[in-house]
Amino acid sequence: MTAKPSVVIVDDHEIFRAGVRAELEGLVDVLADVGSVEAAVREIGERKPDVALLDVHMPGGGGVEVIRQVAESRPAQRFLALSVSDAAEDVIAVVRAGARGYVTKSISGPELADAVARVRDGDAVFSPRLAGFVLDAFAGQIPEGEVDPELDQLTMREREVLRLIARGYLYKEIALELSISPKTVEAHVSAVLRKLQLSNRHELSRWAVERRLVD
């Protein structure tokens, strides 16, 4: 939490990139903003930002493709997904590809800067919406036999934390509510992120699709 974190903004809408740049002015160090997958891979490789802010939807594969290509040369690069997309399957896909969080574009400048700093420090950033998606994805029973309890289920505590995030609580308020330290809250969120990325619970991939069918 010392120096300002450095970021590269990746989004195919120029107006939006300019907007984010202006909002983050003075709060984080914007190294570059780029509008395509190839440019993103190049700039992130060259400038080595603390955090890459990624749009989910872009021509040429979107955030998932950027993460995939950058990871080949910079496996430790941290990503934060920033999107207007509400399609759960897209959001889950980019987080499963390696993004350490997802925030919606309606987030305010200071909140976004705070989220960037948290991602730089290795924490996970869950917006209320992402928390809702994850609760939905991990809801219900899963068939016996293919269960890896380590990865395929959330603990009661993790559920409680996600619920409070979905209810609009900040981490420190969650800590207060559950009488635990903010560090513990962060540890729970990171554990959920890990499960989200590693679980091969088939619902995670299929659920989003089914949801669309239901709607």
Partner 1 sequence: MEAAVADRRLRRDLDRGIVAGVLAGFARRLNADPLVVRIAFIAITVATGGLALLGYALAWGLMPGDGALARPAASRARRGISPLTGRWRVALGVGFLTLGALLAFRELGLWWSDALVWPLVLAASGATLLWRQSRQRAEEEIAEVSPATRPAPARPESRFTDLYRGGFGVALVVGAALLFLSANDALGGVRDAAFAAIIAILALALILAPFLWRLGRNLAAERAERIRSQERAELAAHLHDSVLQTLTLMQKRADDPREVATLARRQERELRSWLFGGARPEGESLAGALEAAASEVEEAHGVPVEVVAVGDRPLDERSQALVGAAREALTNAAKFAPDAGPVSLYAEVEGGRAQVFVHDRGPGFDPDSIPADRRGLRESVFGRMERHGGNAEVRSRPGEGTEVELTMEVGE
**107/180 with CB nearer partner 1:** 107
Q: Which window, 39-47, 59-67, 125-133, 187-195, contacts partner 1 (CB under 8 A)?
A: 125-133
Out of 106, 141, 149, 156, name the contact with partner 1 by CB under 8 A: 106
| 108: helix, strand or coil | coil
Burial class of 44 by CB neighbour count within 10 A (0 to 12, 13 to 18, 19+): buried
CB of 127 to partner 1, least distance (A): 9
The count of other CB atoms within 10 Å of the CB of residue 191 is 16
* C-beta separation of 168 from 127 below 8 A: no
Q: According to the binding rule CB under 8 A, does residue 128 interact with partner 1?
A: yes
Q: According to the binding rule CB under 8 A, does residue 121 interact with partner 1?
A: no
Q: According to the binding rule CB under 8 A, does residue 126 interact with partner 1?
A: no
Out of 19, 35, 45, 132, name the contact with partner 1 by CB under 8 A: 132
d(CA 196, CA 153): 10
Out of 77, 85, 116, 118, name the contact with partner 1 by CB under 8 A: 85
d(CA 90, CA 154): 21
- The first and second tokens of residue 133, run together, are 């998606």
- The first and second tokens of residue 114, run together, are 């705070």
**75/140 with CB nearer partner 1:** 140
Q: According to the binding rule CB under 8 A, does residue 206 interact with partner 1?
A: no
**18/176 with CB nearer partner 1:** 176
Out of 79, 102, 169, 207, name the contact with partner 1 by CB under 8 A: 169
In angstroms and rounded to an integer, the radius of gyration of the C-alpha atoms of the chain is 17
* C-beta separation of 155 from 193 below 8 A: no
Out of 20, 81, 131, 185, name the contact with partner 1 by CB under 8 A: 131
| 137: helix, strand or coil | helix
Q: According to the binding rule CB under 8 A, does residue 23 interact with partner 1?
A: no
CB of 62 to partner 1, least distance (A): 15
**7/103 with CB nearer partner 1:** 103
Give me the residues paired with residue 126 across strands: 102
d(CA 8, CA 83): 15
Binding site for partner 1 (CB under 8 A): 84-87, 106, 108, 128-129, 131-132, 135-136, 139, 163, 166-169, 212, 215
